[in-house]
């Protein structure tokens, strides 16, 4: 799954309840942005996938009726944007029906897809059902790297899908997750988007959650690689002004400012996982000590307003003294709880990317390691290896790897070498 785009999150930021974090436990507004992760199934195996690494332990999926009830309840509470994501949402046979019903309810509907499974016929049916927007992901501008990073032969098909989307008259919105391997190609990625007639290109630098957390050492760019890529983006942005909007989402680790994650915990955003677990953000499932409520057992209203899970980090009552005494907390809400947990072991900690965080040294150490690795590695050329060959390196998002991460004795974790040897 690709997370909702930065633009979408920024949209929500502009509509977030003003000063919400200034109250120790504010009354929540509406869950304006509903992300429906329809399935964790996906034909691709991206090394940076933001799905939970234990997704294979959660294979149950809500029925069509359950999803429609979720949509109705969320809409009644004021939800306006509906993201349909996964895994690969096109794997759901009821996608057209879900879109049609969501449209009748008045949602603005965005399909977030790898494109695999989008035929001309299906694109037309989705258009007829009322789908507003499709976000198509690419892994790179080259077939070799695109196919390597997803461990599938999908580049050519994605190109066809881009043409199908364009032919249906959708705005062309491309997304590419950036990291050490494809940052040197950023100019070519922009030119590819230009050839496809994209109106919008999101270059989302990898944030380190989910599978990307496991692959952090392999994916993290050096400072110099990042700056060089940003300069290329700036030059293309000036050249394409008025024709294509390019959004460069910088990686949290390298940012001087802490991001207001999800516009605040439980402020505007609600994710429903494929099995009906409701989450304040798409990564929260891995946080320990939570009993995340299920939509099959509770109404959306009670989950949003009353559940411990959605209330735990609302307001300021949970904040460390570092954040409480800082003028920034009404704007950045203390940053990301998932990042805090992964890096420090405590979800209550100040976001470790913050320069004021007592754990900032952990981020600096990762950056130093990436800077040192940049001089050593020769990651090109990469090529597709059927079945993700052994050899040490990156951990692909596969069912077998997911099961092995949950129960390390249950099977072997598969690795693929960055060199693609096999
Ligand atoms: S494997 Fe890739 S395409 Fe599939 S859900 Fe994850 S990021 Fe998206
Ligand atoms: S100390 Fe807390 S509130 Fe202040 S900038 Fe850092 S994360 Fe934000």
pLDDT, tens digit, 9 for 90 and up, residues 364-390 = 999 999 999 886 655 554 555 544 433
CA 192 to chain CA centroid, nearest Å: 22
CA 380 to chain CA centroid, nearest Å: 26
Whose CA is closest to 50, among 291, 249, 299, 231? Answer: 249
pLDDT for residue 102: 98
Contact criterion met (CB below 8 Å) for 231 and 217: no
Q: How far are the Cα atoms of 45, 212, 353, 416 from residue 387, in angstroms, in the given order?
A: 10, 19, 36, 9
Contacts of 82 (CB under 8 A, 6+ apart): 34, 35, 36, 71, 74, 102, 107, 108, 109, 110
Per DSSP, 294 falls in state B
- Per the listing, tokens 């990317």 go with 353
- Per the listing, tokens 């989705």 go with 126
CA 356 to chain CA centroid, nearest Å: 26
pLDDT for residue 411: 54
Which atom of ligand 1 is closest in space to residue 139's alpha carbon? 2
Contact criterion met (CB below 8 Å) for 260 and 35: no
Tokens of 180: 């050490």
165 lines ligand 1 (CB under 6 A): no
1 lines ligand 1 (CB under 6 A): yes
Contact criterion met (CB below 8 Å) for 226 and 183: yes
Contacts of 249 (CB under 8 A, 6+ apart): 6, 202, 203, 204, 205
CA 65 to chain CA centroid, nearest Å: 26
Tell me if residue 87 falls in helix, strand or coil: coil
Whose CA is closest to 66, among 266, 275, 269, 280? Answer: 275
Which of 214, 397, 398 to mutate to test ligand 1, by most ligand atoms within 8 A of the CB atom? Answer: 397
Q: H-helix or E-strand containing 177?
A: strand 173-178
397 lines ligand 1 (CB under 6 A): yes
Contacts of 314 (CB under 8 A, 6+ apart): 20, 25, 26, 28, 264, 265, 266, 267
Tell me if residue 83 falls in helix, strand or coil: strand
51 lines ligand 1 (CB under 6 A): yes
Dihedrals phi, psi of 131, to nearest 5 degrees: -65, 135
Contact criterion met (CB below 8 Å) for 22 and 69: no
Ligand that comes closest to the CA of residue 355 = 2
Q: How far are the Cα atoms of 141, 146, 151, 418 from residue 44, in angstroms, in the given order?
A: 17, 11, 7, 17
Using a 10 angstrom Cβ sphere, with 0-12 exposed, 13-18 middle and 19 or more buried, the burial of residue 166 is: middle
Distance 88 CA to ligand 1 centre (A): 7
pLDDT for residue 387: 45
CA gap 97, 177 in Å, rounded: 30
Distance 332 CA to ligand 2 centre (A): 7
Protein residue closest via CA to atom 5 of ligand 1: 1
Protein residue closest via CA to atom 6 of ligand 2: 354
280 lines ligand 1 (CB under 6 A): no
Per DSSP, 39 falls in state -
Distance 123 CA to ligand 2 centre (A): 44
- Sheet holding 200-205: strands in order across? 245-249, 200-205, 173-178, 133-138, 108-113, 81-85, 33-37, 269-272, 278-279
pLDDT for residue 376: 63
87 lines ligand 1 (CB under 6 A): yes
Which atom of ligand 1 is closest in space to residue 116's alpha carbon? 3
Distance 283 CA to ligand 2 centre (A): 21
114 lines ligand 1 (CB under 6 A): yes
Distance 188 CA to ligand 1 centre (A): 22
42 lines ligand 1 (CB under 6 A): yes
Tokens of 68: 């429609």
Using a 10 angstrom Cβ sphere, with 0-12 exposed, 13-18 middle and 19 or more buried, the burial of residue 205 is: buried
Tell me if residue 415 falls in helix, strand or coil: strand
With a Cβ cut-off of 6 Å, ligand 2 is lined by 258, 322-323, 326, 328-329, 332, 334-335, 350-351, 354, 356
Q: What is the mean pLDDT of each run of 10 residues along the chain (422 residues)?
A: 49 44 67 97 94 94 98 98 97 98 98 96 97 95 89 92 94 94 96 95 96 93 96 96 95 91 94 98 94 98 97 94 95 95 96 96 95 68 48 76 78 46 29
Whose CA is closest to 320, among 346, 345, 338, 342? Answer: 346
Protein residue closest via CA to atom 2 of ligand 1: 46
Ligand that comes closest to the CA of residue 399 = 1
Contact criterion met (CB below 8 Å) for 293 and 307: yes
Tell me if residue 365 falls in helix, strand or coil: helix
Q: How far are the Cα atoms of 104, 142, 206, 366 from residue 221, in angstroms, in the given order?
A: 45, 19, 10, 10
């Amino acid at each position: 799954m690709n997370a909702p785009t930065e633009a979408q999150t920024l949209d929500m930021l502009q509509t977030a309840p003003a000063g919400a974090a200034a109250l120790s436990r504010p009354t929540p507004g509406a869950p304006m942005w509903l992300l429906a992760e329809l399935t964790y199934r996906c034909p691709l195996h991206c090394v940076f996938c933001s799905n939970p690494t234990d997704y294979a332990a959660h294979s149950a999926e809500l029925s069509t009726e359950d999803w429609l009830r979720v949509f109705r309840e969320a809409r009644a509470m004021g939800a306006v944007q509906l993201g349909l994501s996964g895994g690969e949402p096109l794997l759901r046979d009821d996608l057209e029906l879900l879109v049609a019903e969501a449209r009748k309810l008045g949602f603005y509907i965005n399909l977030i897809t790898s494109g695999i499974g989008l035929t001309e016929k299906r694109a037309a049916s989705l258009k007829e059902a009322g789908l507003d927007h499709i976000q198509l992901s690419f892994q790179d501008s080259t077939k070799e790297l695109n196919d390597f990073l997803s461990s599938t032969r999908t580049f050519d098909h994605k190109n066809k899908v881009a043409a199908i989307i364009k032919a249906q008259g959708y705005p062309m919105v491309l997304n590419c997750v950036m990291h050490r391997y494809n940052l040197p190609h950023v100019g070519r990625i922009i030119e590819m988007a230009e050839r496809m007639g994209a109106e919008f290109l999101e270059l989302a630098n990898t944030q380190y959650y989910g599978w990307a957390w496991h692959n952090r050492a392999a994916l993290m760019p050096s400072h110099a690689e990042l700056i060089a890529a940003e300069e290329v983006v700036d030059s293309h942005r000036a050249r394409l002004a008025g024709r294509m909007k390019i959004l460069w989402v910088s990686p949290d680790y390298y940012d001087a400012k802490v991001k207001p994650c999800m516009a605040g915990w439980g402020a505007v955003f609600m994710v429903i996982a494929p099995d009906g677990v409701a989450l304040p953000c798409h990564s929260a499932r891995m946080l320990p000590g939570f009993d995340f409520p299920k939509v099959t057992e509770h109404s959306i209203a009670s989950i949003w307003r009353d559940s411990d899970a959605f209330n735990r980090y609302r307001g300021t009552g949970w904040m460390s003294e570092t954040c409480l005494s800082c003028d920034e907390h009404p704007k950045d809400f203390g940053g990301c709880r998932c990042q805090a947990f992964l890096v420090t072991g405590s979800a209550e900690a100040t976001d470790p990317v913050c320069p004021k965080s007592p754990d900032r040294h952990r981020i600096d150490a990762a950056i130093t390691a990436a800077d040192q690795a940049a001089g050593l590695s020769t990651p090109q050329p990469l090529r597709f290896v059927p079945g993700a060959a052994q050899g040490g390196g990156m951990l692909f998002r596969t069912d077998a790897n997911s099961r092995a991460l949950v129960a390390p004795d249950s099977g072997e974790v598969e690795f693929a070498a960055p060199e693609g040897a096999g």
